[in-house]
Chain A
Amino acid sequence: MTRILPLVAEAVVSRRGPRVLVGPVDLSIDGPGITVVIGPNGAGKTSLLSLLHGTARLASGKIRWACPIEDARHEQAFVFQRPVMLRRSVIDNIAYPLLIRGVPKRDAMDRAHEAAKRVGLGALTRRFAPRLSGGEQQKLALARALIAKPQVLFLDEPCASLDGRAMREIEDILQIARTEGTRLILSTHDMGQARRLADDVLFLLHGKLHDGGPADTFFPSPATPQARAFLEGDIVE
């Protein structure tokens, strides 16, 4: 298996019409761990994630993986804020990424059952996925994103509108994925979650990378007054 990291972004910009959604941003991501992207609404967190993932159009700049882009695309997955459920059973949803990669059906189903058990959906495999509760849907989305063992997993506010228990279950799954070597890049509004999960922090403001760094130095002493204010819960505009 070719390694796709490090990921290097050089002056990447995403636009919608004349409006700049995010950028120019320079960053590089390597090795295992969890990168947490924080910032106020409209700072460009979602845009940055989809830009790096390759689903948003790059207006200018460069994104480089350690391997050709076509190979890199199969080694990533994305979990949306509002999970998209295929109109199929839970198990068919989880097995889907394997089936489109050409894994034999029986093999894919076995692995999907295993994955369902790991995220606590073992008892619900025959259920129709769009009928699941919000927390269950997000767990399904995680199992589906992780089943093909991606090297990089993007998560766009995966715990928005979930209660504490569902959030903890999802964070446990994320920690396991991290120890198994998946690089996680996650945006969140929840500073508690950011502190619990982050190895690295990116603080976005007005579409620019304003501050950031390793979690153990960023959280106790952020370099910029805006980041400090944001961490203290002030409104940053």
Chain B
Amino acid sequence: MVDIWNGISQAVWLMLTLDPELVEIAARSLRVTVTALVVACCIALPLAAFLAVQRFRFRRAIIALLNALMGLPPVVVGLVVYVILSRSGPLGVLGLLFTPTAMIIAQTVIIVPLIASVAHQSIRDLWAEYHDLLISMNVTRWQKIRTLLWDARRALMTAALAGFGRAIGEVGAIMIVGGNIDHATRVLTTAIALETGKGEFGLALALGFVLIGLAVAVNLSIHWLGRTERGDRW
């Protein structure tokens, strides 16, 4: 119990004083994950809509694969991205290993299947509803996809938030490809792992509370921006 109280009081103290190191780490966490989320959404949402409206040979196989990849172990993703980006790897010349960009790449790989699967589910339901009308109106495939993405946007926000949650709390992959380098690639989760290893439970807990607070704040603000659960909308 003492550890927890220490953690809480330390967390409050760190946040009240806007500890520069804490702010730096938290900002980097947010930057890496939000960037990964934006990139992942740009890939996953059109993919999900395409899979819903287009019938082709390997469609079912791709959907099954995406569902399976939702449980992709982050450590393995980290390892693969590490191998690809390492000096002797195929993309080694880019010199991306142990940079925030490498962390963004790893997180994007982890959350694309998750976002695409959840989004596909809701877009498919909406497509079943709209199918006859849109076919009758003779809309192009691109217009179909845009209409579905726009009208399913609230459900897609949930998919994106699920992706955000998985990415912000993820430690295995970014530890490997980022290296937890102070002032370069240290983020909240890797810092927690480090402080725990050092036996600094108070600081680790403080960082953990900041992480949770950050995740809750982002979720709340997105819900507020999207005006879900209000009035005449659904």
Contacts and interface: CB of A to CB of B under 8 A. Distances in A.
B233 A86 contact: no
Contact of B138 (A74, A86, A88): A74
Contacts of A88: 151
Nearest to A84: B133
A237 to B, nearest CB: 29
Interface in B110-132: 126, 129-130, 132
B139 A55 contact: no
Contacts, number: 36
Contacts of A130: 234
Given A86-B147, A86-B151, A87-B234, A73 B130 contact: no
A53 B136 contact: yes
**Range for the number of chain A residues in contact with chain B:** 10 to 19
A84 B131 CA distance: 9
Contacts of B234: 87, 128, 130
B136 A86 contact: no
B137 A97 contact: yes
A100 B143 contact: yes
Contacts of B232: 127-128, 131
B132 A87 contact: no
A73 B132 contact: no
Q: Which of A80, A96, A130 has the largest count of B CB atoms less than 10 A from its CB? A: A96
Contact of A86 (B130, B132, B135, B143): B130
Contacts of A97: 137
Q: Which of A55, A88, A100 has the largest count of B CB atoms less than 10 A from its CB? A: A100
A111 to B, nearest CB: 16
Contacts of B151: 86-88
A128 B137 contact: no
A83 B232 CA distance: 20
A27 B1 CA distance: 85
A55 B138 CA distance: 9
A78 B138 CA distance: 11
Contacts of B133: 80, 84, 86
B230 to A, nearest CB: 11
B233 A128 contact: yes
Contact of A84 (B129, B139, B152): B129
Contacts of B152: 87
Interface in B78-108: none
B125 to A, nearest CB: 11
A130 B139 CA distance: 21
A128 B129 CA distance: 16
A91 interface: no
Q: Which of B130, B135, B136, B232 has the largest count of A CB atoms less than 10 A from its CB? A: B136
A36 interface: no
A77 interface: yes
Contact of B137 (A87, A100, A127, A131): A100
A97 B143 CA distance: 11
B147 to A, nearest CB: 7
Nearest to A82: B132
Q: Which of B130, B138, B143 has the largest count of A CB atoms less than 10 A from its CB? A: B138
Q: Which of A73, A84, A131 has the largest count of B CB atoms less than 10 A from its CB? A: A84
A84 B233 contact: no
Interface string A152-187: 000000000000000000000000000000000000
A221 B3 CA distance: 95
A78 B139 CA distance: 14
Contacts of B132: 55, 80, 84
8 contacts: A55-B132, A77-B136, A80-B132, A84-B129, A86-B133, A86-B151, A96-B147, A131-B232
Given A55-B135, A55-B136, 5 more contacts: A73-B138, A84-B130, A87-B126, A88-B151, A128-B232
5 nearest interchain CB pairs? A84-B133, A78-B136, A87-B151, A73-B138, A128-B232
Interface of B: 126, 129-130, 132-133, 135-139, 143, 147, 151-152, 232-234
